[in-house]
Amino acid sequence: MKHLNNCSSSKLFCIALFLLLIVSLNARSEQLKVGVFDEHQLYLKTSKPYRIGWDILMHAAAKSDISITPVEDAWARSLSDLSSGKIDGVFGAMKSPERIQWAKFSKPLMLDSVHIFTYQDSLVNEINSIDKKHAAVGVSKGSVQHKMAEELGFENIYAILDRNALYKMLIAKRIDYLIFSDSFINLYCYKYTQSKAPNCLKPLTPSLTENFMYVMFDKSSAHLDVSINKINRAIEQMVTNDEVKAIYLANYPNEKAYNRWLKSWLLEN
C-alpha cells in the first residue's frame, strides 16, 4: 500500500519500481527439468562419455543462465514423462527416424558406440555368428537398441525397463546377449563384479553404430525454444573456445578421443 501511495505521488518512483521489477524477473534463471538415467550419479562416476556429455550440458546451461534439474527414472518412464510434459527434456537420447518425427534435439553432446555384448567365456565373437532364431537378447524397453534388435532379426527379445535385471540375466546365462551403449556397460561391471574393472563383458564385432547422444525435447514444446537455442549457442561457443577440449582432457590422457568427437561434431554441424 505504501508503494502504491508513493506511485500515486511520484511518477519517477513508480517508473523506478517498475524497472526494478523487470530487472529482478530477468535475473531469475530459467528452469529446465531433464530426465536422466536412474543411478545418474553412478553413471557419472563410471562412464566417461556420459560424464563428458553431462559436463558439456551443465557448462552450457550455466553460461545461458539456465538451471538444469536432473530427474532420475527408467528410460521408458522418462519418455512418457516427456510426452506428458512432466519433464522438459531427456538426456542421453540418440536420434532415430521415428524420433525425428516428434522430437527436437540439442547440439550433439557425447559420442558413443553401441555393441552386442555377451559373457566373456562365450564362443561367439562376431555378430554374423549369432543364431538369431534361438538366441535371447536383452534390451531396454522403448530404446533405440530395442528397435535395433528387431531390425537385426532376433526372434527372442527381452525388453524390460530394468537394465540391472538385464545384466544379471546375462551373467546368469538366462539370456545370451545385451544390446547396450558402450559407456553404460562399465556401470554394471563396477556394481556387480568383485574387481569393479571395466570391460567385464565381451563386445561382438563389428559395433552396431557410433552415434551422438543429445538432450531430446518434444517438438510441441515451443515455449522451450528460447532456452534450447541459448544452450545450443553456448555449446557452439564452448567448441570454438576449446572448453569442450578442456573437458575431454580432464577425462582422457591425450587428445585422441576429443579429436574423434570434434571430427564427428563438425560433420554434423
Residues 128 and 177 in one domain: yes
Average pLDDT over residues 40-68: 96
Residues 165 and 124 in one domain: yes
Q: What is the mean pLDDT of the chain?
A: 89
Query: What pLDDT score was predicted for residue 32?
Result: 97
Q: Domain containing 123: what range?
A: 113-210
Q: Do 216 and 94 belong to one domain?
A: yes
Give me 57's grid cell.
550440458
Distance CA 50, CA 187 (A): 11
Please tell me the distance from the alpha carbon of residue 253 to that of residue 265, in angstroms, as a whole number: 20
Tell me if 51 is assigned to some domain. Answer: yes
Burial 164-189 (b: 16+ CB within 10 A, else e): eebbbbbbeeebbbbbbbbbbbbbbb
Instruction: Let me know if residue 26 belongs to a domain.
Output: no
Residues 106 and 231 in one domain: yes
User: What pLDDT, on a 0 to 100 scale, did the predictor assign at position 177?
Assistant: 98
Residue-wise DSSP of 101-154:
HHEEE-S--EEEEEEEEE-TT-S--BGGG--TTT-EEEEETTSHHHHHHHHHT-
The number of folded domains in the chain is 2
Assigned domain for 16 exists: no
Beta bridge partners of 210: 113
Average pLDDT over residues 248-265: 96
Sign of torsion, CA 110 130 198 142? Answer: positive
The domain boundary residue, chosen from 210, 238, 254: 210
Statement to judge: residues 175 and 256 lie in one domain: no
* The pLDDT of residue 110 is above 90: yes
- Rounded CA separation 8/22 (Å): 20
Q: How far is CA 252 from CA 103, 181, 187, 242, in A?
A: 32, 19, 18, 15
- Residue 10 pLDDT greater than 50, yes or no: yes
For residue 21, pLDDT beyond 50: no
Question: Which of the two residues, 214 and 74, has the higher pLDDT score?
Answer: 214
Q: Which three cell numbers stand for residue 227?
A: 532456452
Is the domain of 217 the same as that of 100? yes
- What's the CATH code of the domain at 133? 3.40.190.10
Tell me, yes or no, whether 201 and 129 share the same domain: yes
Task: Please indicate, yes or no, if residue 144 is contained in any of the structural domains.
Answer: yes
Radius of gyration of the chain (CA): 23
Q: Which residue has the higher pLDDT, 200 or 126?
A: 126
